[in-house]
Amino acid sequence: MRLVVVGNGMAGARLVGEVRSRSRDVRITVFGAEARQPYNRVLLSNVLAGTSTPDQARLVDPAWYGEHDVTARLGVRVTAIDRDRKTVLASDGTREPYDVLVLATGSEPVVPSIPGAGRALPFRTLDDCDRIRKAATSARGVAVVGGGLLGIEAARGLAGRGVPVTLLHLGDHLMERQLDVEAGLVLRQTLGALGVRVRTGVTVSAVHERRVDLSTGESMDADLVVLACGVRPVVGLARDAGLEVDRGVVVDDELRTDDPAIFAIGECAQHAGMVYGLVSPAWEQAAVAADVVTGADRAARYRGSRMVTRLKARSVELAAMGETHLTDEQAEIVSFSHRRNGTYRKLVIRDGRLVGAILLGETPAVGTLTRLFDRGGPLPADRAGLLFPGVLADVAVAQSPVRMPDSAQVCHCNNVTKGQIRACWEAGARDLPAVTAATAATTGCGGCRDAVEGIVGWLSEQEGVSA
């Protein structure tokens, strides 16, 4: 079977790996518009801040393609799909036949229609990071437009380089889709302490060479303007091919489009009316599509994802999940706020189940609450114990590799348990890179890195081997 994958980002690269892990008989060709190896976009803010290198963000070793008999056409864009002949036309003039085609074209930055927008730089790719870093070296002031996840990550990354940054956001508070008003205020104060000036209820109306005009009628000095105004699915290829497109490429529970030979996954796909802009749903979709395409599990179906938004900018820890905007009249709300300390914790409970949560600031309860949210399990009567997990036995256990059960989930992005880490360690993966290669742990948000290193170190100590 000839499988062609259009898109070599986090969704497309994951699909290729999932397919190859299930079958060696599939002939795989993947096209990537970027000439780079696939990389982890979640770590872009760290690259921007200089705390991670581009190589540390890389998802696939260059030798992997040859070792796994995968043809990677990097820096080659697919320009058209010929559904009648089952071929794709590439930007270099070549044609590639397929039996199954998977679209993983991702999304593109939204650029506002304002005068001078061409002077601003988007924040979406590693190449964008390179351009922003170079421009920031001589900038006396930076304006970041957009107070969502990407905007906050960009602002924090630039502030980490010592550049004066002002974050401009049209909404009344930061990340208003995921956070309530109090959480937005705590996050704003946390960013302020890290060197990011935040202005809400305002946006840019024009970009000039050394300043921006604001919607309030003011002007603000800015040598560099970074756009993080959101993204939109890349659907032009699918639309031109006559596939059903709404906000994204419309797919069913098998991730098939209305052409049974063509699938779509990741940020370009729309399932049951939802377009997911996060990594975890894309990887869940990749696993289902790989099962269906290879026949490894013909009954596999995608039923949607329970989204957990994670912000992992340096010195800013945030997780938001589910229905965070319900009121006391609609649900049981348990919350704690300490603005000076940058801490805000909120649980939204309905019918004895956790249906939403906001966790801002360091808290060891993230893993426990994420599992309760994902699985919909009953909550303990002591709600305060969920907010302050030092009294929770299961969280105390999770803090020690010795006492952590093998069933405990260590990497939530990739559903990797302590038992799986132990198993691959016993099979010969004796350091963090080897464990990462075997399980994909740490390749999502990166928040589990210390825990995985701790488990590997503890296992090595048990045999008297130095980690």
Domain of 156, CATH number, reads 3.50.50.60
The residue count of the chain comes to: 467
Identify whether residues 101 and 239 lie together within a single domain. yes
Axis crossing angle, helix 181-193 with helix 149-159, rounded to the nearest 10: 20
The DSSP call for residue 249 is E
The encoded tokens of residue 5 equal 């994958």
Same domain assignment for residues 188 and 91: no
On whether residue 301 sits in a domain, the answer given is: no
170 and 238, same structural domain?
A: no
Question: Do the domain assignments include residue 309?
Answer: no
Domain boundary among the residues 227, 256, 278 is at: 227
Any domain includes 300:
no
Output the pLDDT for position 142: 97
Does one domain contain both 345 and 368? yes
| pLDDT of amino acid 464 | 60
The domain boundary, picked from 184, 210, 227, lies at 227
Cα 286 to Cα 76, 101, 234, 309, distances in angstroms: 22, 13, 17, 19
Q: Do residues 11 and 88 both lie within one domain?
A: yes
pLDDT of residue 466: 44
Distance CA 320, CA 373 (A): 11
Q: What is the pLDDT of residue 420?
A: 84
Residue 306 included in any domain: no
* Cα separation, 48 vs 157, whole angstroms: 5
> For residue 390, what pLDDT is reported?
56
Rounded Cα distance between 251 and 271, Å, is: 5
Q: Residue 331 is part of which domain span?
A: 317-391
Query: Same domain for 122 and 221?
Result: yes
Same structural domain, 126 and 223 = yes
Q: Which helix (H) or strand (E) holds 322?
A: strand 318-322
Q: Which residue, chain included where needed, has tokens 């340096």?
A: 314
**DSSP codes joined into one string, 428-444:** T--SHHHHHHHH-TTSS
Residue 379 near residue 354 (C-beta atoms within 8 A): yes
Amino acid 391: pLDDT: 41
Per-residue pLDDT tens digits of the chain, which is 467 residues long: 999 999 999 999 999 999 999 999 999 999 999 999 999 998 898 899 888 899 889 998 889 999 999 999 999 999 999 999 999 999 999 999 999 999 999 999 999 999 999 999 999 999 999 999 999 999 999 999 999 999 999 999 999 889 999 999 999 999 999 999 999 999 999 999 999 999 999 999 999 999 999 999 999 999 999 999 999 999 999 999 999 999 999 999 999 999 999 999 999 999 999 999 889 999 999 999 999 999 999 999 999 998 899 886 778 889 999 999 999 999 999 999 999 999 999 999 999 999 999 999 977 778 888 888 988 888 888 888 888 865 444 433 344 566 677 767 787 677 788 888 888 877 777 788 788 877 878 876 666 777 788 888 878 777 664 44
Give the pLDDT score at 395.
Answer: 39
Structure tokens at 316: 């800013």
* 269/330 same-domain check: no
Give domain status of residue 218, yes or no. Answer: yes
Q: To the nearest 5 percent, what fractions of the chain are helix, strand and coil?
A: 30, 25, 40
Torsion, CA 277, CA 278, CA 279, CA 280, rounded to 10: -120
- Same domain assignment for residues 103 and 30: yes
Amino acid at 343: T
Give the CA distances from residue 181 to residues 171, 173, 177, 184, in Å, rounded to whole numbers and listed in that order: 11, 6, 10, 5
Q: Say whether 99 sits in a helix, a strand or coil.
A: coil
The CATH number that applies at residue 462 is 1.10.10.1100
pLDDT at 454: 82
Is residue 285 domain-shared with residue 337, that is, in the same domain? no
- Contact call for residues 41 and 59 (beta carbons, < 8 A): no
Residue 303 lies in a domain: no
Q: How far is CA 200 from the centre of its chain?
A: 24
Q: How far is CA 344 from the centre of its chain?
A: 22
* Structure-block tokens of residue 42: 């979640």
273/324 same-domain check: no
In a domain, 354, yes or no: yes
- For 302, counting Cβ atoms within 10 Å of its Cβ (0-12 exposed, 13-18 middle, 19+ buried), the class is buried
Instruction: Decide if 171 is inside a domain.
Output: yes
The CATH number linked to 352 is 3.30.390.30
Cβ atoms < 10 Å from Cβ of 169? 27
Verify that 33 and 174 share a domain, yes or no. Answer: no
Last residue of a domain, one of 365, 391, 417: 391
* Pick from 212, 219, 226, 206: nearest CA to 155: 226
State how many domains the chain has. 4
